[in-house]
Amino acid sequence: MPSSSSAMVTGLTAAALAAIGFLAHQASVTVPAELGRPRASASPSPGVSGVPGAPGASKAPRDKRHPEALPTGSGKGERVVYSVDDDRVWLVGAGDRVQRTFRVTPSTVDPAPGTYTVTSRSNRVTGSDGIPVEHVVRFAGVDGVVIGFSAAVDGSTEKPAPGVKTGGIRETRADGDAMWDFATIGQKVVVVR
């Protein structure tokens, strides 16, 4: 049977590890503005052949009469499609059917075009801009800035302050709910121009 001092050491160790984990997360979501222009921290997988916007590719073709139409060549199968030029997201289900599309407020750091997967999610946290957010769906990183979709708890979708490196792509709360339900761990995210 462990002694009370052994239990105390175990408790202190667990508390210290939790504090280190929290501080590591906080450090990963903010980067000082002076670190310069963002670069991809890892090369996204070209993944889906013919994805417009992949490195060296031109902007994904759009239907100018229907800007909400899914960009042609944005892949196949269930996926989230995010256009960094149009600030729009499409949730694409089975049979390449668009389940929902909506406008977003971009972060100050954009992910490179390519194919990613959802790597982590958080129900509620404080965003890199200090605003409480919910339904955070993370899928990329650029120079230590974590990129993901989220909705501000207060419903705001204002642009981030200039000069601050943030990775939060803001949605309305209703769109954030839809993203949360759709984009589980491992879900494909295709980023196009």
Residue 83: which domain range? 32-192
- 138: domain CATH number is 2.40.440.10
The model's pTM = 0.70
Each residue's pLDDT tens digit, 7-61? 554 555 544 444 444 434 444 444 333 333 333 434 455 444 344 444 444 455 5
Both 151 and 116 in one domain: the answer is: yes
Q: pLDDT at position 162, please?
A: 81
Examine the domain organization and report whether 166 and 94 are in the same domain.
Answer: yes
Q: In what order do the strands lie in the sheet with 98-103?
A: 98-103, 88-92, 79-83, 188-192, 114-117
Q: Domain check: are 125 and 135 in the same one?
A: yes
- pLDDT for position 7: 53
> What integer pLDDT is reported at residue 161 of this predicted model?
83
Q: Quick one: pLDDT at residue 44?
A: 57
112 with 132, same domain?
yes
Considering the domain architecture, whether residues 133 and 63 belong to the same structural domain is answered as yes
Residues of the chain with pLDDT under 50: 9, 14-43, 46-58
